[in-house]
Amino acid sequence: MGNILQALIAALVAGICEWDIYGGFHVQTNRPVVVGPLMGLALGDLSLGLEIGAGLEFVFLGTVSVGAAIPPDACSAASLAVAAACISNGALNANQAVTLGVALASVAQMLQMLIWTVNIWFQHQADKYAKVGDIDGACRCMYIPCTLWFFQGAIPAFCLVAFGQELVSNIVLPALVNTWLTLAGGMMASVGFAMLFVMMNKPKLTPFYMIGFVLAAALGMGLVPTAVLGLAAALLYIQQMDAPAAPEKKRRSREA
Amino acid sequence: MAEKKITQSDIMSVYWRSFFDMASINYERFQALPYLFTFQKVFKKLYGDNKERMTRACLRHVEMFNTMPLFIPVIQGTTLALEEKIANTPVEEDTAELEESVNNIKVALMGPFAGIGDSLMWGTFRPIAMSIGASIAANGSAAGPIVALVIWNVVNFAFRYFTLVYGYKAGTTMLTTLRSSNIIEKISTAGSVLGLMVLGVLTASWVSLNTGLALTVEGTEYVTDANGVTTEQPKVITTALQEVLDGIHPKILPLCLVMFMAGLMKKGWTTTKLIVLVFGIALVSAVISTFTGVVIFC
């Protein structure tokens, strides 16, 4: 019975954090760095939660929703990875849990796609009420979709903790799989960063990426100092956008 | 007819309801229904006595709508100002033009704001907040997630409120202001400049890729001992490729990887495909290193 109680607590944490993505408020409890420690706390190992959460945060830092695209579900990745590590009695270490999470993110993403599709039906129900001017009826059609996000996070976590303990505590990853997943985990962040790069980059602006890279890689500058420098560069750059093309003409006339 | 005035409590109702902006997101009309939900209370006040106008108002706001969540309140503010105007038009007058402008302004604003919002908020501000938090958390401190949440939410709650109020006060003039100045272009360029610099740091700090390849040269070495006798001795010189690369520029492999991924993405590869590719490359490298001992990537 203790198992079921534990599973319910895990489901509650995972569900509330997951709900934050689409359900409402967007306070970012859905980020691995937050959901990881919370799940760790719920299952009795805060430090493991912190470690896995931080690890997955770096992997999914750049995966954002752009337009109508659904990114991999970093929240489920973190809640399930931490839960699996916590109930495995040490069979899964933090590194392995991070890579397990990376793989699970894509599975959870499919659940979200399913809900996006189901919600079309609710949208059409709302249309019927809208046509007769029943605003209360139309808005009621939003309540069920709004709760689906909770269950999308909660149900997988419940199942894992309630029924998966034997599975994850007997897990033995062969050395090959270990090498494979660790390597993939290290490279995974590049996908999100590439996505951000394509989204923000224009040929004119590429130098700023180069500057940021060199400052960090060669000079060891941290994120916050570089961000402040970046803000300064941004302010200088937009001032230039308003500057008239006059100075060039002046120089030419002087040359003449 | 008494004038229907939007009060502070109406603004607050729109504000709190706007947080549910993606609750019923779907592939067909995205954030449409939550947009109507935001105005549920206000519309009852504005159109409660006019079924016909209420119906048209409902139909207006179940149209397709999608933008970056943090930029929804500012759009709602402008539409709120318009709705107030419609409600205060005498019943016998035609409001078709005003009503049409509500949808026009939504469509006109959602595109640019999605662009700015995605790069400024999702692409720049959130990664900064979260990586500060994660760096603290990685050292085992529970302050990490708290710091991340505080940084993000100060902006999340304040930005939504102030842009909503601004949108309501500016009303339709906002669209003309935006069109006549290059403010949108400026904000999005500034966001990209800052974002790209941060992205450079993230690339150097959080993508890990090294090579274990080494160049081994076997040869002979002539050694002269104390007695002046020269003998031939075998010698092996190993040069690690990673050292050579680090000599050129640290973290050059992560940079190449990100650029490679970006190139594929520009060619139309989806994120899912790229993730599969990462697993594929890692698998090939892991198999080779396990069975032959040659470490391509580590």
Which pLDDT tens digit goes with each residue over B194-223? 999 999 999 999 999 999 999 888 888 888
CB-CB neighbors (< 8 A) of A54 in chain B? 134-135, 137-138, 144
ipTM: 0.90
Nearest residue to B262 via CA among B194, B185, B191, B200 = B200
Mean pLDDT of B263-287: 93
Of the residues B151, B177, B205, which one is the last residue of a structural domain? Answer: B205
Which of B70, B196, B281 is the closest to A212 by Cβ?
B196
Which pLDDT tens digit goes with each residue over A205-244? 999 999 999 999 999 999 999 999 999 999 999 999 887 6
What pLDDT shows up at residue B1? 59
Q: Which residue matches tokens 């085992």?
A: B140
Residue B280 is encoded by which pair of tokens?
């594929």
Of the residues B205, B237, B271, which one is the last residue of a structural domain? Answer: B205
Q: Which 60-119 residues of chain A touch chain B by CB within 8 A?
A: 61-69, 71-72, 102-103, 106, 109, 116-119
CB-CB neighbors (< 8 A) of A234 in chain B? 189-191, 193-194
B109 occurs within a structural domain: yes
Residue A202 has φ and ψ, to the nearest 5°, of -125, 150
Mean pLDDT of B85-107: 93
B146 occurs within a structural domain: yes
Give the span between the Cα atoms of B14 and A111, in whole angstroms: 30
Give the span between the Cα atoms of B74 and B117, in whole angstroms: 12
Is the pLDDT at B86 greater than 60? The verdict is: yes
Q: Which residue matches tokens 């993403």?
A: A109
Cα separation values, B184 from A224, B111, B116, B177, B179, Å: 25, 11, 8, 10, 9
- How does the average pLDDT of chain A come out, rounded? 91
- In which band, very low, low, confident or very high, does the pLDDT at B148 lie, cut at 50, 70 and 90? very high
- In which band, very low, low, confident or very high, does the pLDDT at A53 lie, cut at 50, 70 and 90? very high
Using CB atoms within 10 Å of the CB of residue A220, give its burial: 0 to 12 exposed, 13 to 18 middle, 19+ buried: exposed
Mean pLDDT of B116-130: 91
B116 occurs within a structural domain: yes
Question: How many CA atoms are closer than 13 Å to the CA of A110, on its beta-carbon side?
Answer: 6
Contact A157, A3 (CB under 8 A): no
Instruction: Based on the fold, state whether residues B22 and B112 are members of the same structural domain.
Output: yes
CA distance B10 to chain A (A): 17
Grouping H, G, I as helix, E, B as strand and the rest as coil, residue A202 is coil
> What's the DSSP call for residue A244?
-
B3 occurs within a structural domain: no
- How does the average pLDDT of chain B come out, rounded? 93
Contact A192, A65 (CB under 8 A): no
Instruction: Based on the fold, state whether residues B15 and B117 are members of the same structural domain.
Output: yes
Instruction: Based on the fold, state whether residues B110 and B137 are members of the same structural domain.
Output: yes
Contact A171, A141 (CB under 8 A): no
Which of A57, A133, A141 is the closest to B55 by Cβ?
A133
Nearest chain B residue to A99 by CA distance is B279
Which of B24, B156, B257 is the closest to A123 by Cβ?
B24
Of the residues B188, B205, B222, which one is the last residue of a structural domain? Answer: B205
Give the span between the Cα atoms of B159 and B174, in whole angstroms: 17
Which of B134, B193, B275 is the closest to A72 by Cβ?
B275
What pLDDT shows up at residue A152? 97
Mean pLDDT of B146-164: 97
- In which band, very low, low, confident or very high, does the pLDDT at A256 lie, cut at 50, 70 and 90? very low
Contact B137, A33 (CB under 8 A): yes
**Residue type at B184 in one-letter notation:** I
Nearest residue to A63 via CA among A112, A14, A130 = A112
Q: Which stretch of DSSP H or E encloses residue B172?
A: none
pLDDT higher for A137 or B235?
A: A137
Give the span between the Cα atoms of A16 and A38, in whole angstroms: 11
Bridge partners of B61, per DSSP, are none
- Taking the Cβ of residue A34 and every Cβ of chain B, the question of whether any pair is shorter than 8 Å is answered with yes
- CA dihedral (A42, A44, A47, A50) in degrees, to 10, reads -20
Which of A237-246, B14-23, B143-152 is predicted with the least confidence, judged by mean pLDDT?
A237-246
Instruction: Based on the fold, state whether residues B264 and B138 are members of the same structural domain.
Output: no
Grouping H, G, I as helix, E, B as strand and the rest as coil, residue B221 is strand
Instruction: Based on the fold, state whether residues B127 and B145 are members of the same structural domain.
Output: yes
Nearest chain A residue to B30 by CA distance is A68
Give the span between the Cα atoms of A93 and A172, in whole angstroms: 11
Instruction: Based on the fold, state whether residues B200 and B219 are members of the same structural domain.
Output: no
Instruction: Based on the fold, state whether residues B164 and B220 are members of the same structural domain.
Output: no
B280 occurs within a structural domain: yes
> What's the DSSP call for residue B296?
S
B22 occurs within a structural domain: yes
Instruction: Based on the fold, state whether residues B65 and B125 are members of the same structural domain.
Output: yes
Which pLDDT tens digit goes with each residue over A98-149? 888 988 998 999 999 999 999 999 999 999 999 999 999 999 999 999 999 9
B297 occurs within a structural domain: no
Instruction: Based on the fold, state whether residues B80 and B21 are members of the same structural domain.
Output: yes
B2 occurs within a structural domain: no
Range of the domain at B111: 8-205
Instruction: Based on the fold, state whether residues B125 and B59 are members of the same structural domain.
Output: yes
What pLDDT shows up at residue A247? 54
Instruction: Based on the fold, state whether residues B171 and B226 are members of the same structural domain.
Output: no
Instruction: Based on the fold, state whether residues B42 and B177 are members of the same structural domain.
Output: yes
Instruction: Specify the number of domains making up chain B.
Output: 2
- Taking the Cβ of residue A138 and every Cβ of chain B, the question of whether any pair is shorter than 8 Å is answered with yes
Give the span between the Cα atoms of B30 and B15, in whole angstroms: 20
Around Cβ A191, how many Cβ atoms within 10 Å? 29
Q: Which residue matches tokens 């994660």?
A: B134
